[in-house]
Structure 1
């Protein structure tokens, strides 16, 4: 029960990493509310975009700053901002500030270079964007910059151990990822408001489909992981969430909720990113072949099957285009553009909502039953409410707060949705950087030999088995049940 003893250790409030994740995430979230009040407080934050010309790889996220500020200037300001706010927290938690500043500086610049490389069009462009960049092929590996950052971290951590030791004071994967999850709540909250403006039929059916699929996907993946691949709950729960809900974010949120080691959700995230690319390459074409007479079924299927927001939306856009073209050729019907994509997006939004809900539920279960990394429970001990509170991951509270505030803002004042979305996007750019910093930090502190022994090969195997054996086909069946016979409007 050594792991549980660590988890139950109470720390002073100002030295608690969980609480610093909440405070830092809420601070960035509050700055992101600026556009609602007419202030562009985070518009200068850098954003990496897919590029062929590297001079266009980075720019301020807000158009207000794009005309007057160079991308390099935006990047430097972003670095300085993150350095200051994280150094304050690190100092409060007892870190050596000078070593933290030096280490964070190196980690930040290596990580962001990886993010820029990962956005090269030949790597990141989805098939529907290839023509825009004048290319005929691409790997369609979105978020590959995260994987590059982890690989560089692994190389440093396993082959340059002295350098890795110097950087360790600033490698704080759990803090980085929990802060990012708090910020993520705002993006999902405002996206949910946007979905509520869509057709009621699609929304109701989309919600039902997600609940139905989720109640099937999660327990089955968890059972297979535990029974046939011998994973501990520490691995099985994040893996089930990653496949069932929303890929990277769900795996990370679940890992934090059950207090798994940071390496667990990040390894799962790397595997998920690769599988999303595989799905993106073949699912839209399979849908256009099988479902060109059931377009809304095809759109919902993309939302249920592809386990990342970017990958799902891209697959929905490709499916929308392919099926409309085939329907016109085969059936002489010209459907309005965007309705299949709407089904994909709506389904994906409701899946995203389950990130916080399920993380909260699992946190309570793991706390009440005191489940350790191997799945054992401490018998004969009555769990007190204070103990549940001490063990409960506070970042989930931050996620719920940011999600709830923007959801209520959008519902009560629809006129603010556009500005709230702009502010959320600005804060979300920082969330992306926190995720990338986490990936690098995980690589830095990970021993590859131990990682493989921990089950990387089995992670790939269980993902492939679950995805191709039942997730794709159950998702198709559920999409058919809820969307069969619903057609997009016909042009004219």
Structure 2
């Protein structure tokens, strides 16, 4: 009988997943202090729609207006540099190289982010912005510029890209951003009737369970039946294509004890195809589903692989739909959250699925006498940043709800009798704190876009041995995964947006 595996506590400071949790929660707590009169993080730089570039950026809080645009940028870079470098060193990365590469990535990303906020590109109301016309893409166009610049560097300046890869960590950046996103969404929860909120989350859970079981089984069957792959290749490939991309492929490879080369090759394909999806799928969704915005958001979570690309796609879809349809402004944050919620339910299930596969491989396929699979493996596979997302969501939702109830009591009325303006006044202190969190979230999102581009080398598809894998991926992804995801998204999120507009 194999000796029971003990918990490796060093993962708390050595694993990227945990560092996304620690970093996200630290920034969350520091920003939350603003709601209680201690504006610690108001210096965080933000960009605004601009015609005059001198007004393109500045500190999030007026309390730090004295820093000016350059001052807020420098402080934001310096603080995030210190925090991320501490994490990098703790995880065993080379601190000096990480710091140098992070600095360049931060500067290039911010340039793209500012360009994307130009009024001719971003303004949703050109006349109000002082320009004759606009592409109406909102400032999130900066994400696309960051992605394109990253792709150019990653594919045409490979020496520079390899140097930047020391700090191009899209999964770390996006997971940290998602921890903060919980607070951004959480502040809106108390303003939504409970029956709508529970309905929304339930639909996300049901959609994921359905899609997961269909996707994985079909991909595994196609890979085995029509392409002749062994179980060692078919299982990680099915997880990579159908679940959460890189994380799922690696988790599955570990669960079935595949050779290291297997999940690595699958992960390479996942990244390349995620970028391909990111370049066109959000625009397709926004164009044809602009009047079913939550369907469009959920579709991104079900169809686009990797946390970074899926969340980024949801952000683009939301920006486009809200830019084209101002009447959907009450849905701000919820279209993106439809993508994130479905993706997070997928992430949550990775640990369970890896454990199931480990049991199947040990007891039925490999049949190694006397060996057992311990339940602690579920914890090792569980994405820790998800804990942060739910913590920030619940904490902000609870605090905001308490503030609203206290405000209503002070007026001698029930919460249901409060006007929209009274609601805003009740949670104004928390709104200021969440604005700072949102500025940080957007920075990490932008870093994610740029980093995805930098690490995406399309020439990887030409390497020996990847041709057949790429063909399976292409056939499954564009043959049925995208379209099943669309059907399920429509089934569960059709007309749900109307509940938010009442």
Q: TM-score, normalised by structure 2?
A: 0.69
1:174, 1:438 within 8 Å by CA — same for their partners in 2? yes
Q: Where in structure 2 are the equivalents of 1:138-153 lying within 5 Å?
A: 138=135, 140=137, 143-153=140-150
In structure 2, distance between residues paired with 1:18 and 1:99: 21
Pairing partner for 1:278 from 271, 278, 284: 284
Alignment correspondent of 2:87 = 89
1:289-325 deviation line (CA, Å, top 9, x unaligned): xxxxxxxxx5665665676256347526745x6xxxx
How far did residue 77 of structure 1 move?
1.0
Secondary structure at the counterpart of residue 440 of structure 1: helix
Q: TM-score, normalised by structure 1?
A: 0.70
How far did residue 12 of structure 1 move?
5.8
In structure 2, distance between residues paired with 1:361 and 1:343: 27
In structure 1, distance between residues paired with 2:476 and 2:440: 32
Secondary structure at the counterpart of residue 384 of structure 1: coil
1:208-237 deviation line (CA, Å, top 9, x unaligned): 655555555555555665556889665665
How far did residue 30 of structure 1 move?
0.8
In structure 2, distance between residues paired with 1:47 and 1:482: 32
Secondary structure at the counterpart of residue 43 of structure 2: coil
Change (3 A) 1:211 1:83: closer
Q: Where in structure 2 are the equivalents of 1:270-309 lying within 5 Å?
A: 271-272=277-278, 274-284=280-290, 287=291, 308-309=314-315
1:144, 1:273 within 8 Å by CA — same for their partners in 2? no
1:152, 1:440 within 8 Å by CA — same for their partners in 2? yes
Change (3 A) 1:478 1:359: closer
Alignment correspondent of 1:295 = none
Alignment correspondent of 2:346 = 358
Q: Where in structure 2 are the equivalents of 1:93-132 lying within 5 Å?
A: 93-125=91-123, 128-132=124-128
Structure 1 window deviating more from structure 2 (68-77 vs 347-356): it is 347-356
How far did residue 31 of structure 1 move?
0.9
1:388-423 deviation line (CA, Å, top 9, x unaligned): 333433323333322332233233333564332332
Question: Aligned pair 1:396/2:386, yes or no?
Answer: yes
Question: Aligned pair 1:195/2:192, yes or no?
Answer: yes
In structure 2, distance between residues paired with 1:22 and 1:207: 22
In structure 1, distance between residues paired with 2:500 and 2:400: 29
Q: Where in structure 2 are the equivalents of 1:326-365 lying within 5 Å?
A: 342=330, 349=337, 352-365=340-353
RMSD: 4.5
Change (3 A) 1:391 1:299: closer
Secondary structure at the counterpart of residue 400 of structure 2: helix
1:35, 1:419 within 8 Å by CA — same for their partners in 2? yes
Q: Where in structure 2 are the equivalents of 1:73-88 lying within 5 Å?
A: 73-88=71-86
Alignment correspondent of 1:169 = 166
1:302, 1:344 within 8 Å by CA — same for their partners in 2? no
Change (3 A) 1:466 1:153: same
How far did residue 445 of structure 1 move?
4.0
Alignment correspondent of 2:450 = 440
Q: Where in structure 2 are the equivalents of 1:360-439 lying within 5 Å?
A: 360-370=348-358, 380=368, 381-414=371-404, 417-439=427-449
Secondary structure at the counterpart of residue 59 of structure 1: strand
Alignment correspondent of 1:54 = 53
Secondary structure at the counterpart of residue 102 of structure 1: helix
In structure 1, distance between residues paired with 2:246 and 2:437: 19
Secondary structure at the counterpart of residue 170 of structure 1: coil
Pairing partner for 2:69 from 71, 82, 89: 71
1:303, 1:345 within 8 Å by CA — same for their partners in 2? no
1:153, 1:440 within 8 Å by CA — same for their partners in 2? yes
Secondary structure at the counterpart of residue 58 of structure 2: strand
Q: What count of residue pairs does the alignment treat as equivalent?
A: 434
Change (3 A) 1:237 1:147: farther
1:370, 1:378 within 8 Å by CA — same for their partners in 2? no
In structure 1, distance between residues paired with 2:430 and 2:235: 38
How far did residue 75 of structure 1 move?
1.0
Please, which runs of 5 or more residues in structure 1 have no aligned partner?
1-7, 242-249, 288-297, 322-337
In structure 2, distance between residues paired with 1:450 and 1:371: 33
Alignment correspondent of 1:334 = none
How far did residue 138 of structure 1 move?
1.7
Q: Where in structure 2 are the equivalents of 1:199-348 lying within 5 Å?
A: 200=195, 203=197, 206=200, 210=204, 213-220=207-214, 264=270, 268=274, 271-272=277-278, 274-284=280-290, 287=291, 308-309=314-315, 311-312=317-318, 315=321, 318-319=324-325, 342=330
Structure 1 window deviating more from structure 2 (76-85 vs 8-17): it is 8-17
Please, which runs of 5 or more residues in structure 2 have no aligned partner?
1-6, 228-232, 255-262, 301-312, 408-425
